[in-house]
Amino acid sequence: MPFTIAIDGPAASGKGTIARALAERFGFHHLDTGLLYRAVGAMGGDPIAAAQALSADDLARPDLRSAEAGQAASRVATIPEVRAALVDFQRRFAARAPGAILDGRDIGTVICPQAAVKLFVVAADLTRARRRAAELGTDVEEMLAQLRERDSRDAARTTAPLRPAEDAVTLDTTAMSIEDAAAAAVRIVQSRL
């Protein structure tokens, strides 16, 4: 049985960094599932048709990291048919040997409810805004407002809202360095291998 790790949490909580560190440490495949929604949002036109036609090549667009692409992603992510069209791709990825790490919002709750390890990564709003603003070279206040808007849309939607799975381990990275957060996640995974 391949080993699946589900990592969920709000934007800029550190889940992507943790996922990459775990992938490197254990030699597992990694999928940033936010890219799927960003790609659908960036395609324009009918988001349901875009989600149904999505291919792995569409995830390589360099403009998907922008704050605008994040906002567009969180709008198309509220559409149940868009989410449904992306399930198979994610589940097939999760089954890759020797193991796979998926990070997103609904991995532990909807996409991989049987994952061997589920992490829910959180951090204080201002810390997340500072991290993302530094990454993108934008204003902290503006980033804070955007993250809050996106988080409340993600948590309030009826299909697959952002919330921890019952059996998820919560990791608060507010006061942690990247190295500390990665080391904490490695310890949790090692205890379940």
Task: Using the minimum distance from each CB to ligand C5P, give the nearer residue, 156 or 187.
Answer: 156
Is 118 a residue that touches ligand C5P (CB under 6 A)? no
Task: Using the minimum distance from each CB to ligand C5P, give the nearer residue, 37 or 120.
Answer: 37
Measuring CA to CA, how many Å separate 111 from each of 41, 90, 102, 162, 180?
20, 7, 9, 12, 28
DSSP letter for 111, please.
I
**Count of residues in the chain:** 193
Q: How far is the CB of 190 from ligand C5P (least distance, A)?
A: 25
Return the range that interacts with ligand C5P (CB under 6 A); candidates 23-31, 32-40, 50-58, 167-175.
32-40
Return the range that interacts with ligand C5P (CB under 6 A); candidates 69-77, 93-101, 120-128, 184-192.
69-77
- d(CA 5, CA 30) in angstroms, rounded, equals 9
Return the range that interacts with ligand C5P (CB under 6 A); candidates 21-29, 30-38, 113-121, 170-178.
30-38
Whether the bond between 10 and the residue before it is cis, its omega within 30 degrees of 0, is no
Give the per-residue contact string, 151-190, with ligand C5P (x = CB under 6 A; - = no): ---x------------------------------------
Report yes or no: 82 and 51 within 8 Å, Cβ to Cβ. yes
Task: Using the minimum distance from each CB to ligand C5P, give the nearer residue, 31 or 189.
Answer: 31
Q: What is the DSSP string of 65-94?
A: GSHHHHHHHHHHTT-HHHHHHHHHHHHHHH
Specify the amino acid at residue 29. H
DSSP letter for 28, please.
-
Is 104 a residue that touches ligand C5P (CB under 6 A)? yes
Looking at residues 74 to 103 of the shown chain, list those that interact with ligand C5P (rule: CB under 6 A).
74, 77
Interacting residues toward ligand C5P by CB under 6 A: 11, 33-34, 37-38, 70, 73-74, 77, 104-107, 150, 154
